Amino acid sequence: MPARSDLVRTAIVVGISALCIGAVQGRVAEQHARVKETSDVHLLPPPKEVVTLSFGYRAALADVLWAHVLVSQGLHTFERRRFENVADLIDTINELDPEFRDPYLMSDALITIQFGESQRADVVRTRAILERGTRNRPLDPEIWRTAGQFIAFIAPGTYLTDAEERAAWKADGARMLARAAELGGDAGQMGWAAVAGAGILSRQGERDAAIRLIQRTLAVTDDEELRERLQRELAKHIGEAKLDAYRRRQTEMLDLARRDLPFVSKSTLFVLGPPFDPAYCAGGAHADDRRCALTWKAWAATGSDEPR
């Protein structure tokens, strides 16, 4: 058992400590309530140096930084202030793990939708990150769609003021939406994104590009509502007569391919090409016959009613 004197000394120390805490607690709480964090300090070195500092654990460090970005964004939103370092952190994450998908998909919202007015530099930097995503994940339709929507609609309609610059951004975004439609087919809103992209190209006088975009989307979509909308748009550009010829050609191609491979999807049929009879086509005597065409382009070239 401890001595009685020890207990007394302990009680005295605890009492004095409580008095000291009580004496300063009110002033400290008042000062803490007045002090507001108004800016962020980016403590990481440049992205390439961060890659070196990761000691090979690049994906793991990218995950940690991405978790920090999401938590910090929530805290900044709660405090109603800008997250000034978010673009720097996303650049670092991209450098660590170039194929990490989520930062590309969310970069436009994280950087531009902030408290306070977004600067033009924020918009340009967001576009650079989205374009980096299309280079690092060139077969991901969602990234192409996100980039196309931001560059074609969000940035020109909200942040850009120069008319020529807005037009250039819209044209670039429309081409990205076209690529998203090519890659995505009916997935999500890819096909409808192609309709929007074709409208932009058409308004800017790029009729041939709009026609090609509509035709490519028609070739892969199975959505009847989207198909009808695309056919109406195509009719505006090429006329009803050529549209009827195009429809006949598409129907003929599908019927021919499905007789040969009825269990294969439409997109796969167009990739595989038309049916080919090796015995009939051997020797080259029937090289100009449609039945010996090796690609759908060669098969269609034998007709004269293909829309231009």
Of 199, 246, 193, 258, nearest in space to 219 by CA: 246
| CA gap 251, 293 in Å, rounded | 18
Note whether 122 and 83 are within 8 A (CB). no
* DSSP state letter for 294: S
DSSP 102-134: HHHHHHHHHHHS-SSPPPHHHHHHHHHHHHHHH
Of 67, 120, 62, 90, nearest in space to 75 by CA: 67
Name the residue ranges covered by the structural domains of the chain.
42-138
Sole residue written with tokens 């951004």: 169
Of 182, 303, 306, nearest in space to 243 by CA: 306
Give the CB-side neighbour count of residue 304, counting CA atoms within 13 A.
0
Whether the model clears a pTM of 0.75, i.e. scores above it, the answer is: no
Of 279, 249, 274, 277, nearest in space to 264 by CA: 274
Encoded tokens for 158: 């909200």
Return contacts of 240-249, CB within 8 angstroms, 24+ apart. 242/305, 242/307, 242/308, 243/307, 245/305, 245/306, 245/307, 246/215, 246/306, 246/307, 248/305, 249/300, 249/303, 249/305, 249/306
pLDDT tens figures, 180-236: 877 765 555 666 667 777 777 777 667 777 777 777 777 667 677 777 777 777 777
| CA gap 225, 223 in Å, rounded | 6
Res 307 pLDDT > 50 = no
pLDDT tens figures, 91-116: 999 999 999 999 999 998 888 877 55
Encoded tokens for 36: 């507001």
User: What pLDDT sits at residue 154?
Assistant: 85
pLDDT tens figures, 121-164: 889 999 999 999 999 999 898 899 899 889 988 888 778 888 88
